[in-house]
Structure 1
Amino acid sequence: MGHVDLNFEGVYESQIENLMLCVVQLVLSGGWYPDAERSMRKKIADKISVEGLDNLLQGVPSEEAELFKHDLRILKFIQ
């Protein structure tokens, strides 16, 4: 997971891109790293709580936004 972090550090400027990257990292971790999973889940949940998902998704094409929301539902971040 550190490899993904290192390769993409500072690449994305928008908050939604960084949030999406964090979700990808969570999925790629596959539950193998419980401490990292807890940390990523907290980071994702905090970002959604503070910024608001609708605010974060402004400017994202509706089809992509719906796919991302679907992923967040599967991961139990939203209902």
Structure 2
Amino acid sequence: MGYVSSAFEDGFDRDIENLMWNVIIFILSGGMHPDVEDGIKRAILDKIYSIGLNNLLQGVPAEEAELFRHDLRILKFIP
């Protein structure tokens, strides 16, 4: 996990890219690092609620946006 995270430590250009990356890291952690997962979960929720999911998804193709929303629902990040 550390290698994967550090490979992209400078982040991406868009907020949605960083959000998606955090969701990927959260999934890949697979419950093995609860402390790290708590921090990532907080970062994901903070981004969604501070900017708004619809605002974050502007410019993302509709089909991809709906798939991402579906993933966020499965992970219980959104209702």
Category of TM-score, reference length = shorter chain:
over 0.9
The TM-score, its normalising length taken from structure 1, stands at 0.95
In the TM superposition, residue 10 of structure 1 has moved relative to its aligned partner by 2.0
Alignment of structure 1 residues 1-79 onto 2, 5 Å:
1-79=1-79
Q: Give the letter aligned to residue 57 of structure 2.
A: L
- SS state at 1:26 partner: helix
Identity within the alignment, %: 58
Listed as ranges, the gaps of 5+ residues in structure 1 are: none
Q: Give the count of matched residue pairs.
A: 79
The TM-score, its normalising length taken from structure 2, stands at 0.95
- SS state at 2:47 partner: helix
Q: Distance between the aligned counterparts of 2:51 and 2:31, measured in 1?
A: 26
Root-mean-square deviation (Å):
0.8
Query: After the TM superposition, which parts of structure 1 deviate over 3 Å for at least 4 consecutive aligned residues?
Result: none
Q: Distance between the aligned counterparts of 1:66 and 1:76, measured in 2?
A: 15
